[in-house]
Structure 1
Amino acid sequence: MDTTHDSTITSFRVDIPQADIDDLTSRLRTTRMPAPLPGNDWDTGIPSGYLQDLVTDWAEDFDWRAFEARLSEVPQFMTVIDGQRIHFAHVRSAVPDATPVLLTHGWPGSFLEFLHLIGPLTEPEAYGGDRADAVHLIIPSLPGFGFSTPLNSAGWTTAHIAAAWVELMDRLGYGRFLVQGGDLGAVISPEIARVAPKRVIGVHINGALGFSGDISEDDRAAMSPLDQDRMARVRKFMNEEYGYISIQSTRPGLVGVALADSPVAQLAWMLDKFRSWTWPLETLPDEILGREWILANASLYWFTASGGSSAYVGYAQNSWGATPANSGVPTAAIQFAHDVGIRSQFIQANTIVRWNDFEDHGGHFAALEEPELLINDLRGFLHQLKEKD
């Protein structure tokens, strides 16, 4: 970690130029949509009528300026780490000794996933909770994502990002802290504990802690029905849904060109995963995640032209499969209905002290789909850690 450069932290306010907003609206209104494929369903892409409906709303009804005004109420900052511009939200609780919690998002999400958690977590009393549960929140945008652009260099592996997050916490003056994340955040958060095991008091993740490796037929037969179902869904994913990983990990620059030139391509590319990874599958993703959030998130990717750089960092910079070292830091995992985390597959690399399964609730985007369950599980883990101390 190169810390010889300027470590200044500066305030940041979201203020997209009006010309960029006008350009987006113009492109949306003049979109050339293809003729529907036979079947016109989710098996071949996005149903054309559904996509057109969202595009129309994006162009005619979605108000970026109104969303931006609410977004600007959240304290946000910029700093440079290893030459890379890093954007982050930082909201301190009024409770001085509150636990600092670092939240890390994934793809195709952003720091926007956590906005509605800020109030309940930093001001629990205002939401009917206990003052003692208050936390300070640090919510960075991953390198190459959103306002942490443009991407300055290669080498932003999960381990490098983890080291950068430790440096960020240094600059903010936090000695001990807890980390939480899902998707890429579920891989990066344990890495932070490996970088600074004496400073991370706990790791909390939603979803899998990594990718399950191949196991023997005997071990599979010994699994619970729930874990057997998860293994079956992992195999199905590898056979039927792996295409986006292949493209983003091998040709992020190519997909980046398309996503930087067409906002509808950007929306559709993300929408495919929002549908596949939310729960239940038969419910449209905007009914689960909220249409405004989907369009705001797509707008963030569009305004920052980060489709290619997010693909590069998220998929082209890492090699999966090797079992990492166990940091010894207490780790908690919460699994929702869509998730495929299998405890027995992760106990070697993680010190798991808490594991909760919710078979009939939620999907991959826990902070958006099941915020109350996620908050309660995080608080339960913090209580557990405090009791141990």
Structure 2
Amino acid sequence: MTSSASQPTRRHVLQGGLAAGLTVAASAALGQAPASAAPSTGPTGIRPFRVAIGRDQVADLRRRIAATRWPSRELVADRSQGVQLATAQALARYWASRYDWRRFEAKLNALPQFTTQIDGVDVHFIHVRSRHRNALPLVMTHGWPGSIVELLETVGPLTNPTAYGGAAADAFHLVLPSIPGYGFSGKPTELGWDSTRTARAWAELMRRLGYTRYVAQGGDVGAAVTDNLGRLAPAGLLGIHLNLLVPALAGTDKLPKNTDEEKAAAAALQVFSTSGRGYIVEQSTRPQTIGYALLDSPVALAGWMLDHDTDSYLKISRAFLGGRPSGNLTREHILDNVSLYWLTGTGESAARIYWERTQTAASGQTLPPVSVPVAFSAFPGEIFQAPRSWAETSYPTLSYYNQPARGGHFAAWEEPESFTREVRAAFRSLR
């Protein structure tokens, strides 16, 4: 283990006139209007933010990758024992020798970024306002082991649709917050930051930004946050869009299993519950224990993050083993995400939301049913492709359902064009 002195430091924020000027300049370069709320000081004000990772941190990352102590090769021909050695070593070689963090840092800094303190925690968010009149405000939430990286390729198409083959009537003002404990958001220092508390923070964020009518979207952990936002139904929330059926993860006893489609979904969930939940069990019960490895070894962090559902793992493996990348899951985009976790030192704090969810479930706390319109996209590569009947049973207010031809668990990341089409269609009736 390394000493705490060598852990990542948070030298990321540049406040004041220069940062505000850069933010407005970045907005103009993208053809967007500046953020709706003027930058202000104080913990609850909207403060400009700029990423500035030190050279020593990047050099330390490469040194640690080179010093990795490798395990022996797995004793099977597939990934049934976990992330395969060939995949991990190919990732490490590329990460240490060819990956360029500064490219991604510049990409982030070309977008308007801010922080504001909500409920005692600094929340980092990207806020891009559309140039199109009557654009609909949209808050989108990432998942685990994802981050805002998942959503970046959708920024242009969603905020400026006419430049990407869409109609001006489908434009959004986009808010992309980092969940507390993830990325450049602060780490919670007290218990209770579950999906519900995060949803309440998002409602306050949208209020603070001056949005009186808005919609919300989420997948993975972001789907749980968005589901809870729909149950809280804060003033101004018009509807939600999900690409993971959160209620089904709690059990399928009340869901129909009569058709072939319903039986296939139930079978896929059963496979996941028996062979794909290792990371969920650990993070739900012992996030601190796995945190020591996630904060001390970049390769341990990468391996832990790669060991997700089979579909995502195979797509990521292909990217590093010389195969053609699947959609947008290129080596650079994958390592942008892993590097963000490493350089912000958030491996253990991001994992804790699973523990918080377990504590909330054990307490018996419940929220009312979702009362706002719900849109659902069942992507074919999801852990299970939820049938319409399951979506209707879970959400009686279902207003839109579709099964896109392409996309998986990280739909926005993998297939941003397909995902963008779904988001536009999902909220068209609410404008």
Both structures adopt the same fold (TM-score exceeding 0.5): yes
2:352 matched residue in structure 1: 312
2:205 matched residue in structure 1: 168
1:299 matched residue in structure 2: 339
Superposed displacement of residue 121, structure 1: 0.8
Map 1:142-221 onto structure 2 (within 5 A).
142-210=179-247, 211-215=249-253, 219-220=256-257
1:371 matched residue in structure 2: 416
C-alpha distance in 1, partners of 2:317/2:296?
Answer: 30
- 2:232–2:367 Cα contact (<8 Å) kept: no
Cα 1:90–1:300 change in 2 (3 A) is same
- 2:215–2:239 Cα contact (<8 Å) kept: yes
Superposed displacement of residue 202, structure 1: 1.2
2:19 matched residue in structure 1: none
Question: Identity over the aligned pairs, expressed in percent?
Answer: 40
- 1:101–1:137 Cα contact (<8 Å) kept: yes
- 1:250–1:316 Cα contact (<8 Å) kept: no
- 2:233–2:372 Cα contact (<8 Å) kept: no
C-alpha distance in 2, partners of 1:307/1:371?
Answer: 26
1:227 matched to 2:262 = yes
What is the CA RMSD across the aligned residues, in angstroms?
Answer: 2.2
- Worse-superposed segment, 76-85 or 347-356: 347-356
1:122 matched residue in structure 2: 159
Deviation per CA, 1:22-56: give whole Å up to 9, x if none: 10011111211112131263111222122111101
Superposed displacement of residue 197, structure 1: 4.5
Map 1:1-389 onto structure 2 (within 5 A).
6-39=43-76, 41-210=78-247, 211-215=249-253, 219-220=256-257, 222=258, 224-273=259-308, 276-278=310-312, 284=318, 287-288=325-326, 289-318=329-358, 319-320=360-361, 324-339=367-382, 340=384, 341-347=386-392, 350=395, 351-358=397-404, 360-386=405-431
Superposed displacement of residue 317, structure 1: 3.4
- Worse-superposed segment, 375-384 or 300-309: 375-384
- 1:100–1:177 Cα contact (<8 Å) kept: yes
Superposed displacement of residue 237, structure 1: 1.0
Superposed displacement of residue 152, structure 1: 2.1
C-alpha distance in 1, partners of 2:43/2:250?
Answer: 40
Deviation per CA, 1:330-352: give whole Å up to 9, x if none: 00000111332344445455211
C-alpha distance in 1, partners of 2:264/2:153?
Answer: 32
Secondary structure of residue in 2 paired with 1:278: helix
Q: How many residues align structurally?
A: 377
- 2:45–2:117 Cα contact (<8 Å) kept: yes
Secondary structure of residue in 2 paired with 1:204: strand
Secondary structure of residue in 2 paired with 1:109: coil
TM-score, reference length from structure 1: 0.91
- 1:100–1:135 Cα contact (<8 Å) kept: yes
C-alpha distance in 2, partners of 1:261/1:385?
Answer: 47
Secondary structure of residue in 1 paired with 2:246: coil
C-alpha distance in 1, partners of 2:46/2:354?
Answer: 25
Cα 1:137–1:314 change in 2 (3 A) is farther
What is the one-letter code of the residue matched to 1:308?
E
C-alpha distance in 2, partners of 1:8/1:244?
Answer: 37
C-alpha distance in 2, partners of 1:295/1:116?
Answer: 15
- 1:144–1:310 Cα contact (<8 Å) kept: yes
- 2:87–2:317 Cα contact (<8 Å) kept: no
C-alpha distance in 1, partners of 2:339/2:210?
Answer: 33
Secondary structure of residue in 2 paired with 1:284: helix
Secondary structure of residue in 1 paired with 2:68: coil
Superposed displacement of residue 320, structure 1: 4.8
C-alpha distance in 1, partners of 2:178/2:319?
Answer: 23
C-alpha distance in 2, partners of 1:315/1:331?
Answer: 27
C-alpha distance in 2, partners of 1:279/1:52?
Answer: 15
Cα 1:191–1:316 change in 2 (3 A) is closer
- Worse-superposed segment, 312-321 or 135-144: 312-321
Superposed displacement of residue 365, structure 1: 0.6
- 1:248–1:316 Cα contact (<8 Å) kept: no
C-alpha distance in 2, partners of 1:166/1:142?
Answer: 13
Secondary structure of residue in 1 paired with 2:215: strand
C-alpha distance in 2, partners of 1:311/1:277?
Answer: 21
C-alpha distance in 2, partners of 1:310/1:264?
Answer: 17
What is the one-letter code of the residue matched to 2:406?
H
Q: Which runs of 5+ in 1 are unaligned?
A: none
- 1:209–1:346 Cα contact (<8 Å) kept: no
What is the one-letter code of the residue matched to 2:381?
H
C-alpha distance in 2, partners of 1:255/1:385?
Answer: 43
Superposed displacement of residue 278, structure 1: 2.5
What is the one-letter code of the residue matched to 1:294?
I
C-alpha distance in 2, partners of 1:352/1:246?
Answer: 31
- 1:280–1:363 Cα contact (<8 Å) kept: no
Cα 1:282–1:99 change in 2 (3 A) is closer
- 1:279–1:337 Cα contact (<8 Å) kept: no
